[in-house]
């Protein structure tokens, strides 16, 4: 076959692969865009629906909790019933739930609708990543995941700006309604383009594993969120924490006894896979949570508008779009995945520490440099964590592996958001108690809850004498929160360096210069 004939045969394959990439990346883009639009809209939602700090947490947590709890079973469903079918189902559920979120008349309906959004998100992301892993192999798979990471970065980058503009111009409801046209287009493209695939060895669902893991994660999150309000020594808080521990033990026992487990622990015996998941968890808990916390900091602590808060998030969010492309073109053929993961976590840690040192000033200019440094590290990790983890997994277990990757990431967001909320609340409470020891206990408790939820305007309107202590405690709380994130990512960087093997994550060979424009866009899978 001459060169011209080979080029003609390669064009349809490259075009189909590019369309597969778009089908998988578009839903992931929608998920990230939605998450960050909602983050900027949280103060407006809280004011509109009269929500306190715990209510604000549940708007985020209900979504992430359903997402994290159901990623593993979603991967098993995709392996058994077909990735295309589950992808379409997930897109449909997510789109319809978004409409319900926008129409929610109260906080309870919004939280329930967010949980359904999380269900749809778990189905579509798990099936999408499994489709991507099955459709590509070798270097083409690595480049496909890099492309996916870049598209996800676009969603994260655009989210704060789009969220600020939508919230300020049209109302927070449209932060959800925007998903309707995007979802409809993604469903149509998926039905036309994607070829179905499945794991021929997947025969039944691991129901005990699904129930025990989901219940464990729910009770863990409930304990962390409710502990601030009800007290850590309350009998029901202790019971919830004990129940979470027992359910986790039960989950481990159930999975070890399954012949075809939902979570195959044998993969975690591979140091590279374990290290990649540690990096994924630390990235989510230490950095992705900040995409929710920082808009609250800007709007409540600095008193800026939603639109301005979205713009202020750009130094952290924009590198998530730009840096993955630099990693692909300039670094991935020079540095191993081990170096990239460790370096990315170390940069995030340094950036968060810099932000923490400036947080008490409540000055947006002082904190922006740290945000930019943090964003650079996040850009390195965004697609690299998933790619490194998938390199040591056989393609037939792609559904399970993508489910684990998504579960670890969104469990990190859920647990990180709740745990950092505990740190934020505790530091605010300690600062206010120290500054206002003579304040009545009931008034002090109310003040702590108002400051933690970012309702500083109500504090100032009530008493000018309380405004200064409230602002100091708010800055101190965010300082403790950011330092905690810096410590977590620093410890993870050390663990990843010792666990991930350079031989498993060797640099990607630079491809030969393509002979056709189509092949320059996307190399064919092997």
- Asked whether residue 351 is assigned to any structural domain, the reply reads no
Q: Is residue 128 part of a domain?
A: yes
From first CA to last CA, the distance across the chain in angstroms is 18
CA distance 294 to 290: 6
Q: Any idea which of 371-385, 492-506, 507-521 has the lowest mean pLDDT?
A: 507-521
Can you give the CATH number for the domain in which 110 is found?
1.20.1250.20
pLDDT at site 519: 42
- Residues 142, 230, single domain; the answer is no
Question: Is residue 232 domain-shared with residue 87, that is, in the same domain?
Answer: no
Q: Which residues contact 15 (CB under 8 A, 6 or more apart)?
A: 518
Does 30 lie in the same domain as 66?
yes
Instruction: Tell me the mean pLDDT in the region 501-526.
Output: 53
101 burial (CB, 10 Å; 0-12 / 13-18 / 19+) is buried
Examine the domain organization and report whether 218 and 188 are in the same domain: no
Supply the range of the domain harboring residue 176. 11-197
Same domain, 27 and 58: yes
- Picking from 172, 197, 222, the residue at the C-terminal end of a domain is 197
Higher-pLDDT residue of 189 and 161 is: 189
38 domain-assigned: yes
pLDDT tens digits, residue range 224-242? 777 766 777 888 888 988 9
The predicted structure's pLDDT at residue 343: 92
CA pair distance 250, 212, nearest whole angstrom: 7
DSSP string, 232-279: TT-HHHHHHHHHHHHHHHHHHHHHHH-SS-SS-GGGGGSHHHHHHHHH
Confidence band of 23 (pLDDT split at 50, 70, 90): confident
On whether residue 229 sits in a domain, the answer given is yes
Residues 90 and 217 placed together within one structural domain of the fold? no
Residue 400 pLDDT > 70? no
Question: End of a domain among 171, 197, 223?
Answer: 197
Residue 6 confidence (pLDDT) above 60: no
Q: What was the pLDDT predicted at 142?
A: 65
> CA–CA separation, 385 vs 275, rounded Å?
9
What is the pLDDT of the chain when averaged over all its residues?
A: 78
| 483 in any annotated domain | no
Widest CA span of the chain, in angstroms? 88
pLDDT at 442: 79
Examine the domain organization and report whether 128 and 146 are in the same domain. yes
pLDDT at 258: 73
Confidence at 526, pLDDT banded by 50, 70, 90: very low
d(CA 74, CA 79): 9
Q: How do residues 68-85 score in pLDDT, each as one tens digit?
A: 777 777 777 777 777 788
Each residue of 158-171: b (16+ CB within 10 Å) or e?
bbbbbbbbbbbeee
Minimal CA–CA distance to 126: which of 177, 172, 167, 68? Answer: 68
d(CA 18, CA 30): 18
Both tokens assigned to 276: 């990649």
Nearest residue to 134 via CA among 382, 393, 404:
393
Number of residues that make up the chain: 526
Q: Residue 517 pLDDT > 50, yes or no? A: no
pLDDT at 435 (0 to 100) = 83
Q: Does residue 89 have a pLDDT over 80?
A: yes
Instruction: Give a yes or no: residue 418 inside a domain.
Output: no
Query: Half-sphere exposure of 49 toward its Cβ, with a 13 Å CA cutoff?
Result: 28
Residues 269-288: pLDDT tens digits? 888 888 888 998 999 899 88
Q: Are residues 133 and 240 in the same domain?
A: no
Cα-based distances in Å from 359 to 170, 281, 472, 487: 31, 24, 10, 16
**pLDDT for res 199:** 63
- Output DSSP code: residue 397: G
159 lies in a domain?
Answer: yes
User: Is the pLDDT score of 518 beyond 50?
Assistant: no
In which band, very low, low, confident or very high, does the pLDDT at 153 lie, cut at 50, 70 and 90?
low
- The answer to whether residues 189 and 211 belong to one domain is no
The number of folded domains in the chain is 2
What is the rounded average pLDDT of the residues 503-513? Answer: 63
Residue 411 lies in a domain: no
- Percent of the chain with pLDDT strictly greater than 90: 13
Domain co-membership, 230 together with 193: no
**224, 239, 261 — which closes off a domain?**
261
Buried b (16+ CB within 10 A) or exposed e, 480-517: bbbbbbbebbbebbebbbebbeeebbeebeeeeeeeee
Phi, psi of 288 (to 5 degrees): -65, -30
Is it the case that residue 516 has pLDDT exceeding 70? no
DSSP 3-state assignment of 513?
A: coil
pLDDT band at 156 (very low <50, low <70, confident <90, very high): low
Same structural domain, 20 and 76: yes
Q: How far is residue 477's CA from residue 453's CA, in Å, rounded to a whole number?
A: 11
CA distance 226 to 236: 10
Give the pLDDT confidence of 333-379 residue by residue, as tens digits: 777 878 889 999 999 999 999 999 988 877 777 788 999 999 899 88
Statement to judge: residues 138 and 227 lie in one domain: no
The percentage of residues in the chain with a pLDDT greater than 70, rounded to a whole number, is 79
- Is the torsion defined by CA of 209, 215, 218, 221 positive or negative? negative
Confidence tier at 525 by pLDDT (50, 70, 90)? very low
Tokens, residue 343: 């370096």
As a dihedral over the C-alpha atoms of residue 125, residue 128, residue 130, residue 132, rounded to 10 degrees, the angle is -130
């Amino acid at each position: 076959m001459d060169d011209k004939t080979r080029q003609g045969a390669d064009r349809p394959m490259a075009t189909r692969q590019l369309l597969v990439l778009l089908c998988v990346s578009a839903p992931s883009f929608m998920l990230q865009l939605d998450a960050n639009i909602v983050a900027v809209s949280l103060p407006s939602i809280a004011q509109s629906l009269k929500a306190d700090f715990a209510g604000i947490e549940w708007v985020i947590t209900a979504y992430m909790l359903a997402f994290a709890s159901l990623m593993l079973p979603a991967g098993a469903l995709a392996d058994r019933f077909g990735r295309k079918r589950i992808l379409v189902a997930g897109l449909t559920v997510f789109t319809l739930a978004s409409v319900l979120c926008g129409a929610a008349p109260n906080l309870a309906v919004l939280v329930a609708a967010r949980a359904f959004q999380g269900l749809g998100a778990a189905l579509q992301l798990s099936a999408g990543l499994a489709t991507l892993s099955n459709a590509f192999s070798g270097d083409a798979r690595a480049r496909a995941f890099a492309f996916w990471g870049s598209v996800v970065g676009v969603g994260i980058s655009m989210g704060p700006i789009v969220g600020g503009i939508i919230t300020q111009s049209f109302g927070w409801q449209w932060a959800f309604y925007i998903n309707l046209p995007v979802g409809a287009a993604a469903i149509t493209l998926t039905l036309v383009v994607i070829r179905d695939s499945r794991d021929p060895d997947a025969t039944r669902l691991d129901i005990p594993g699904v129930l025990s893991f989901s219940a464990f994660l729910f009770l863990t999150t409930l304990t962390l969120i409710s502990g601030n309000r009800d007290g850590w020594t309350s009998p029901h808080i202790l019971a919830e924490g004990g129940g979470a521990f027992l359910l986790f033990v039960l989950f481990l026992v159930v999975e070890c006894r399954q012949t075809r487990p939902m979570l195959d622990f044998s993969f975690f015996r591979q140091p590279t896979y374990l290290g990649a998941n540690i990096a994924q968890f630390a990235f989510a808990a230490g950095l992705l949570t900040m995409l929710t916390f920082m808009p609250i900091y800007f709007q409540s602590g600095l008193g800026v508008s939603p639109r301005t808060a979205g713009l202020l998030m750009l130094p952290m969010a924009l590198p998530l779009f730009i840096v993955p492309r630099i990693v692909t073109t300039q670094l991935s053929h020079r540095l191993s995945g081990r170096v990239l993961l460790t370096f990315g976590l170390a940069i995030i840690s340094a950036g968060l520490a810099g932000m923490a040192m400036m947080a008490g000033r409540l000055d947006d200019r002082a904190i922006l440099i740290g945000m930019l440094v943090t964003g650079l590290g996040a850009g390195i990790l965004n697609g690299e964590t998933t790619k490194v983890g998938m390199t040591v997994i056989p393609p037939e277990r792609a559904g399970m592996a993508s489910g684990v990757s998504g579960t670890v990431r969104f469990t990190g967001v859920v647990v990180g958001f709740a745990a950092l909320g505990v740190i934020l609340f505790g530091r605010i409470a300690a600062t206010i108690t120290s500054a206002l020891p003579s304040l009545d206990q009931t008034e002090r408790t109310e003040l702590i809850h108002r400051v933690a939820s970012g309702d500083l305007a109500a504090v100032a309107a009530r008493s000018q004498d309380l405004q200064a202590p409230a602002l100091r405690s708010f800055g101190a709380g965010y300082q403790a929160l950011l330092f905690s994130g810096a410590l977590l990512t620093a410890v993870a960087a050390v663990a990843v360096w010792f666990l991930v093997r350079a031989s498993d994550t060797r640099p990607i060979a630079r491809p030969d210069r393509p002979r056709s424009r189509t092949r320059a866009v996307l190399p064919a899978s092997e």
